[in-house]
Amino acid sequence: MTNSVTGAAIDGWLRAFARLVAEHEDELTRLDAAIGDADHGANMNRGLTAAAVALDELAAGDPPPAAGPRLTKVGMTLISTVGGAAGPLFGTFFLRMGNALAEQETPTALAAALRAGLAGVVQRGKAEAGDKTMYDALAPAVAAVETALAAGGSLADALAAASKAAEDGCAATVPLVARKGRASYLGERSVGHQDPGATTVSLFFRAALDSGVAG
Ligand SMILES: [Mg+2]
C-alpha cells in the first residue's frame, strides 16, 4: 500500500488515530480544562471507540468497503456520539472527506478529500487562521500534503510533511488569543495554552505515520 489509499490503509489510519487519542485522553482533557470545559479528551475517546466498532462492522463486509465509505461511517459515528463542538466538527471533517474520496485510491484523491474535509470544518465552525482552533493545525497540514504531492513526493513524503505542519500549527496556537469556541470567552486568559482541537488534529496526522498508510 506504499502509494495507494486502500480501504485497509484508511482503516489502519483511523484505528491508529483512535489509539493515539485514547493514549492522550488525559492530556487532551488537561488542555481543554485550561481553556474550555475539560471534556475534549473523554468526548473524542468515546466517539473514536464507537467509530472503531463501526469500522469492525464495515470490515466484515464482502467485499470490504473502499476508503471513502469507511471515512463517511466514522464521520457519522462521531456526529451521533460526541457532544459539544468537537463531534460535529471532526464528524463533518471525516464525512466530507469520505464523500469526496468515494472509491478512489490515489494520493491526489486523498489530498482533494482532505481539502474537502477542511472546507466542511470551515463551513460549520467559521474559523479562520489564527483563531486558535483545530483549523490552525488542519489547514497547514492539508496544504503540506498538496505541496508535497505537487513537488513529486510520495504519499509517505506528503503525510510526513502534513504531520510536521500539523504539529507546528498546533504549537503555534499557544500564544494566540482564542477567537472561536468556548475558549474565546476567556479572551487574553486563553494565551499560553495549546488548543485541544488542534492537538487532536496533530494526533490524526501522526497516526498516519504510525499506521503504515504512508508505506
Ligand atoms: Mg470541551
Q: How far is the CA of 39 from the centre of ligand 1 (A)?
A: 5
Q: How far is the CA of 149 from the centre of ligand 1 (A)?
A: 35
Please answer whether residues 51 and 14 qualify as being in contact, where contact means their C-beta atoms are separated by less than 8 angstroms.
yes
pLDDT of residue 2: 56
Domain chopping of the chain, boundaries:
7-209
Q: What angle do CA 147, 73, 195 make, to 5 degrees?
A: 55
Q: How far is the CA of 153 from the centre of ligand 1 (A)?
A: 37
Q: What angle do CA 78, 117, 107 make, to 5 degrees?
A: 115
Q: Which three cell numbers stand for residue 121?
A: 470544518
How many residues in total does the chain contain?
Answer: 215
- Burial code (b: 16+ CB inside 10 Å, e: under 16) for 16-29 equals bbbbbbeebbebbb
- pTM of structure: 0.96
For the chain, the straight-line distance linking the first and the last C-alpha, in angstroms and rounded, comes to 6
pLDDT of residue 1: 39
Each of the 215 residues of the chain gets a pLDDT tens digit; together they read: 358 899 999 999 999 999 999 999 999 999 999 999 999 999 999 999 999 999 999 989 899 999 999 999 999 999 999 988 899 999 999 999 999 998 899 999 999 999 999 999 999 999 999 999 999 999 999 999 999 999 999 999 999 999 999 999 999 999 999 999 889 989 899 899 999 999 999 999 999 998 878 76
The superfamily in CATH containing domain 7-209 is DhaL domain (1.25.40.340)
Q: What is the rounded CA–CA span in Å between residue 17 and residue 202? A: 10
Q: How far is the CA of 112 from the centre of ligand 1 (A)?
A: 29
Q: How far is the CA of 86 from the centre of ligand 1 (A)?
A: 8
